[in-house]
Amino acid sequence: WKAGCCFARAGFSFNDGVCSETAKHLGEKCGDEWGVCKNNRIEAPYEHDLSCYQKIGTPEPRCYPSSNDMEQKQCTCSPIPFVVCYSNDCNGHACSLNTADGNQYCDWGTGNDW
Protein backbone atom coordinates (compact mmCIF):
# COMPACT_ATOMS: atom_id res chain seq x y z
CA TRP A 1 0.00 0.00 0.00
CA LYS A 2 3.01 2.33 0.51
CA ALA A 3 3.75 2.37 -3.22
CA GLY A 4 0.12 3.17 -4.05
CA CYS A 5 0.06 6.07 -1.61
CA CYS A 6 3.31 7.39 -3.07
CA PHE A 7 2.09 7.31 -6.67
CA ALA A 8 -1.03 9.24 -5.64
CA ARG A 9 1.16 12.18 -4.53
CA ALA A 10 2.26 14.51 -7.32
CA GLY A 11 6.03 15.00 -7.46
CA PHE A 12 6.83 11.81 -5.53
CA SER A 13 8.04 8.38 -6.65
CA PHE A 14 8.67 4.99 -5.06
CA ASN A 15 12.08 3.31 -5.30
CA ASP A 16 13.82 0.67 -3.16
CA GLY A 17 10.93 0.66 -0.68
CA VAL A 18 11.07 4.42 -0.10
CA CYS A 19 8.67 7.16 -1.18
CA SER A 20 10.56 10.39 -1.90
CA GLU A 21 10.43 13.52 -4.03
CA THR A 22 11.09 12.83 -7.70
CA ALA A 23 13.25 15.98 -8.01
CA LYS A 24 16.77 15.18 -6.81
CA HIS A 25 19.52 17.61 -5.83
CA LEU A 26 23.31 17.66 -5.85
CA GLY A 27 24.73 14.40 -4.45
CA GLU A 28 21.41 12.59 -4.16
CA LYS A 29 20.81 9.12 -5.63
CA CYS A 30 18.97 9.37 -8.97
CA GLY A 31 17.64 7.20 -11.77
CA ASP A 32 15.35 6.99 -14.74
CA GLU A 33 11.78 8.14 -13.94
CA TRP A 34 12.01 7.94 -10.12
CA GLY A 35 14.88 10.35 -9.45
CA VAL A 36 15.24 13.29 -11.84
CA CYS A 37 18.10 15.72 -11.19
CA LYS A 38 16.68 19.23 -10.71
CA ASN A 39 17.62 21.42 -13.67
CA ASN A 40 15.05 24.20 -13.75
CA ARG A 41 17.11 27.09 -15.11
CA ILE A 42 14.76 29.67 -13.56
CA GLU A 43 14.76 28.26 -10.04
CA ALA A 44 17.97 26.23 -10.06
CA PRO A 45 19.75 26.42 -6.72
CA TYR A 46 23.02 25.43 -8.43
CA GLU A 47 25.38 27.25 -10.75
CA HIS A 48 25.63 24.23 -13.08
CA ASP A 49 23.16 21.77 -14.57
CA LEU A 50 23.13 18.36 -12.92
CA SER A 51 23.52 14.97 -14.59
CA CYS A 52 22.45 11.59 -13.21
CA TYR A 53 25.85 9.93 -13.55
CA GLN A 54 27.56 6.91 -12.02
CA LYS A 55 31.21 7.61 -11.32
CA ILE A 56 33.67 4.75 -11.67
CA GLY A 57 33.95 2.85 -8.38
CA THR A 58 30.60 4.03 -7.01
CA PRO A 59 27.65 1.65 -6.45
CA GLU A 60 24.91 3.86 -7.91
CA PRO A 61 24.29 7.01 -9.98
CA ARG A 62 23.97 10.36 -8.22
CA CYS A 63 23.32 13.96 -9.29
CA TYR A 64 26.64 15.57 -10.21
CA PRO A 65 27.41 18.88 -11.96
CA SER A 66 27.47 18.24 -15.71
CA SER A 67 30.95 18.43 -17.23
CA ASN A 68 32.94 17.35 -20.26
CA ASP A 69 35.01 15.12 -17.96
CA MET A 70 32.19 12.58 -17.65
CA GLU A 71 33.13 9.27 -19.24
CA GLN A 72 31.46 8.50 -22.56
CA LYS A 73 29.16 5.53 -22.08
CA GLN A 74 28.07 3.68 -25.19
CA CYS A 75 24.32 3.06 -25.39
CA THR A 76 21.73 1.49 -27.66
CA CYS A 77 18.33 2.77 -28.70
CA SER A 78 15.31 0.60 -28.27
CA PRO A 79 13.75 -0.74 -30.43
CA ILE A 80 14.68 1.36 -33.50
CA PRO A 81 17.90 3.42 -33.62
CA PHE A 82 17.48 7.17 -34.14
CA VAL A 83 19.86 10.13 -33.99
CA VAL A 84 18.63 10.87 -30.44
CA CYS A 85 16.51 8.45 -28.45
CA TYR A 86 15.63 6.99 -25.06
CA SER A 87 17.89 4.22 -23.74
CA ASN A 88 17.87 2.15 -20.53
CA ASP A 89 21.67 2.54 -20.49
CA CYS A 90 21.74 6.27 -19.64
CA ASN A 91 19.97 6.78 -16.27
CA GLY A 92 17.20 8.66 -18.07
CA HIS A 93 19.49 10.83 -20.26
CA ALA A 94 19.25 10.80 -24.05
CA CYS A 95 21.28 8.40 -26.18
CA SER A 96 22.82 10.35 -29.10
CA LEU A 97 24.53 9.36 -32.33
CA ASN A 98 28.18 10.41 -32.63
CA THR A 99 28.73 11.17 -36.31
CA ALA A 100 32.52 10.90 -35.93
CA ASP A 101 32.51 7.17 -35.14
CA GLY A 102 28.90 6.13 -35.87
CA ASN A 103 28.32 4.90 -32.29
CA GLN A 104 25.70 6.10 -29.83
CA TYR A 105 26.63 7.53 -26.43
CA CYS A 106 24.77 8.79 -23.37
CA ASP A 107 24.33 12.55 -23.59
CA TRP A 108 24.91 13.67 -20.00
CA GLY A 109 24.01 17.24 -21.02
CA THR A 110 20.32 16.39 -21.52
CA GLY A 111 17.94 16.15 -18.59
CA ASN A 112 17.50 12.67 -17.14
CA ASP A 113 13.77 12.63 -17.76
CA TRP A 114 13.70 11.08 -21.26
Q: Are 84 and 95 in contact (CB under 8 A)?
A: yes
pLDDT of residue 113: 80
pLDDT of residue 48: 65
Q: Are 95 and 107 in contact (CB under 8 A)?
A: yes
pLDDT of residue 60: 92
Measured between alpha carbons, how far is 114 from 112 in angstroms, rounded to an integer?
A: 6
pLDDT of residue 106: 92
Regions of the chain short of the pLDDT cut 50:
1, 44
pLDDT of residue 75: 92
This prediction's pTM: 0.74
Measured between alpha carbons, how far is 14 from 2 in angstroms, rounded to an integer?
A: 8
Measured between alpha carbons, how far is 76 from 88 in angstroms, rounded to an integer?
A: 8
